[in-house]
Chain A
Amino acid sequence: MYSFELSEEQKMLIDAINRYASSDLRLKAHDADEENQFAESIVEKGWELGFLQASIPEQYGGFGERSAVTGVLAAEEFAWGDMAGALAVMTPGLYVTPILLGGSEDQKLELIPPVIEAEWQPYTAALIEPYYDFDPNDLRTTASLNGDGYTLKGKKAYVPYAAEASAMIVYANLDGLTQGFVVPAGTPGLEIGEREKLMGIDAYPLYKVSLNDVHLPTSSRLGGSAGHDFAPILDSARVTMAAMAVGVSRAAFEYARDYAKDRDVFGVKVAQKQSIAFMLAEMATEIEAIRLLNWEAAWMQDQGKEEASKHAYLALTGAIDMAMMVTDRAVQILGGHGYIREHPVELWMRNGRGIAILTGLAVI
């Protein structure tokens, strides 16, 4: 039976995130972008909303169940405030959620509670690699069976908080399959490189990482020696990024709409010109269409539908184009003012381009 209404709990959660996103993330987004960081206190405040904690069952230290639908609602709302801030708050999920989805029972019991029961800490994951045709299902970083464990070799890019993280999940190609490995900080051969300087999301600290024959015990592989299915993790990463695209686009749309309603041109408001009004109408339609596509993809994950992976891929594909189209138009509608960093639309346009590149920087 179709329904497009949020549950009461979802509404409460989204309201809480919205307050945080508007009073904290949005207000600080500009300075954070210029200074390349958010204050720890802001990240901690977002963490205390308990979004990740609520998606982890009690036996692992949380107080709820994972729902991809709730996850995409939350990710949209955080990203509506600021994408870099949203990614920062959600960083520990990069470590916890894949363990929840692919880990053995022992790994879940051992690794999840210390992260979930504490204050925000930089636990992270390394998926993206520095190649134009980076493909999460065909990684260049390799894992090979070596005596009583695995040896990891390769280059990673865009690894959040790598310099401070206590541990990270490194994804590597094991005989053609993408598998996750838990790598504690300080493991010999794990080399943290310089901080990335990107076009957008610059308030989010990302690092280059090299794996120079990193030797790991069998128990470090997600799911133990039997391994795990990477698809649910990738599906989650895709709908999360698509949800962030919706959040960023909604922010840009609203800002452009309000600006166009406020500014005079030739004796009327800018928004009273059809050329602008139609752009806004198309932006709103596009956002709503992709939001629904992504909700359905997330719902399919929760229901364990066979088509879930394909639909997560379709949703992200649509979200990539939607984010670029909407954020570009927001800048265009503001004209010269859109190009000035005093207005946030240029930041959203830079972040909007990132949707195509940043899959793997958040999971829900």
Chain B
Amino acid sequence: MIDFEVPKPIAQQRVALQTVAENMMRPVSRYFDEHEHEVPWDYINFMNMAMRAMGAGYLAPREEKKNGDKPKEKRPPIGYQSLAFMLESLSWGDVGLYLVTPGGGLGAAAVEATGTPEQKKKFLARFSEDKPTFGAMAMTEPQAGSDTSAIRTTAVLDRQNNEWILNGEKIFVTGGHKSLELSDGLVVVWATIDPSAGRAGMRPFVVEAGTPGVKVTKMEHKLGIRASDTVSIVLQDARLPFENILGSPEVEAKTTRGFKGAMATFDATRPLVAATGIGVARATLELLKELLEQQGVHIRYGLPRQKLTSIEKDFIDMEVMLHSAWLLVIKAVWMADNRKHNPLEASMSKVRAGDVVTKITQKAVEIMGPLGYSRDHLLEKWFRDAKITDIYEGTGQINRLIVARNILDYSGRELR
């Protein structure tokens, strides 16, 4: 039965997160935008404590706890929905700060999506420790962005020592510095075990902090999300235990399992990344409304367009964009929760979110004129922050390609 009621636990969580966003994020939003690479420890420590208290942690829902004898009444799973709401709320506060929230981030999401139960246990435990711990995912390389099958980082098995030897360079690793140098975290590195095999050779490896031969070599300076570090990582004869290759025992066989694992990770994380952009756009619309009202402009609903002012028309159109994109996110995570195959819906939500959050934040700056363009307000910052939504976790164009292949029933070869 079609239903749009926000589940109660999520509604409650939302109220708590709103307080966090208002008190722990907004007051320092501007400071960390202007002090790139400075680490917001107050926020990090607070969130580490708070998230542990809430039982939340990384970008994937926890497995259901097995309850001794009597199974409780079965409730529909809402783990991904809960995460989407959480990320939207925190990003409403500040998306750059949200990105440095301790926990596993995309690294844990990849472990969750592709690891065995033993691996999940082993690698994810660190994210519930007392000390804030970070995780990241390293996919992009200097010569391989969206075309992940062109990855050149190699993983060679040293059978004598039962170790993998990784060599290569990764760039644009979100949170890589915090994962490897500021905490005992991990980075999931995608490497090829057979460079001639293309996608079929791709495998995810867990690289833990402190691994010899792994080095953070560069911290980028960015348009926005400046509170979050984006780094380059060089792997030089980095040796990993055999079991750090994520997935089932037959990982060595030449299948496309590795690539499919990467894609499964994206099916889970794309709607969540879309949710973060939507948080920024909601913040923008709310502030825009407030600033307009201060100037005596009130938005009137229900009128034919012919009677609306240009600002009212823009504002209402932005609300349509924002809310419809949000519902695409909700549907995609609802499908994930209910174990429905969702690559189409995941990419649709990302396409639309990427589009609308850039349009909304750009329009808001224009509408507020000299006030919008000024750093006195956060609108210009959100304009810069929002743009990344249409770029990372698959650009808008890559996600269009995925949507197109799905609706046309085309393979990657048929629609390049």
Contact = CB atoms under 8 A, between A and B. Distances in A.
Contacts of B404: 274, 277-278, 280-281
Contact of B348 (A7, A261, A288): A288
A164 interface: no
A323 B306 CA distance: 18
A292 B7 contact: no
A6 B2 CA distance: 6
B5 A2 contact: yes
Contacts of B400: 277-278, 281-282
Of the listed residues B76, B304, B414, the one surrounded by the most CB atoms of chain A closer than 10 A to its CB is: B304
Interface string B284-319: 000000000000000001111111000000001101
A274 B81 CA distance: 32
Interface residues of A, number: 47
Interface of B: 1-7, 76, 78, 81, 301-307, 316-317, 319-321, 323-325, 327-328, 330-331, 334-335, 345, 348, 351-352, 397, 400-401, 403-404, 407-408, 410, 414-416
A318 B407 contact: no
Interface string A174-218: 000000000000000000000000000000000000000000000
A277 B401 contact: yes
Given A3-B334, A289-B328, A295-B4, A317 B407 contact: no
A4 interface: yes
B2 A317 contact: no
A257 B407 contact: yes
B3 A3 contact: yes
Given A281-B404, A300-B4, A134 B323 contact: no
A315 B301 CA distance: 12
A6 B1 CA distance: 5
B7 A2 contact: yes
A318 B324 contact: yes
A265 to B, nearest CB: 14
Contact of A299 (B4, B7, B351): B4
A285 B302 contact: no
A255 interface: no
Contacts of A313: 301-302
A277 B415 contact: yes
A27 B78 CA distance: 43
Given A132-B306, A257-B408, A274-B415, A284 B403 contact: yes
A293 interface: yes
A284 B401 contact: no
A3 to B, nearest CB: 4
B349 to A, nearest CB: 9
A141 B36 CA distance: 63
Given A4-B331, A288-B331, A299-B2, 15 more contacts: A1-B3, A2-B78, A5-B1, A5-B2, A69-B2, A271-B410, A271-B415, A274-B401, A274-B415, A277-B408, A277-B415, A281-B407, A285-B328, A296-B4, A313-B301
17 contacts: A1-B5, A1-B7, A1-B76, A2-B3, A2-B6, A7-B1, A271-B408, A272-B414, A278-B397, A280-B407, A281-B407, A282-B351, A284-B348, A288-B348, A303-B5, A315-B320, A317-B305
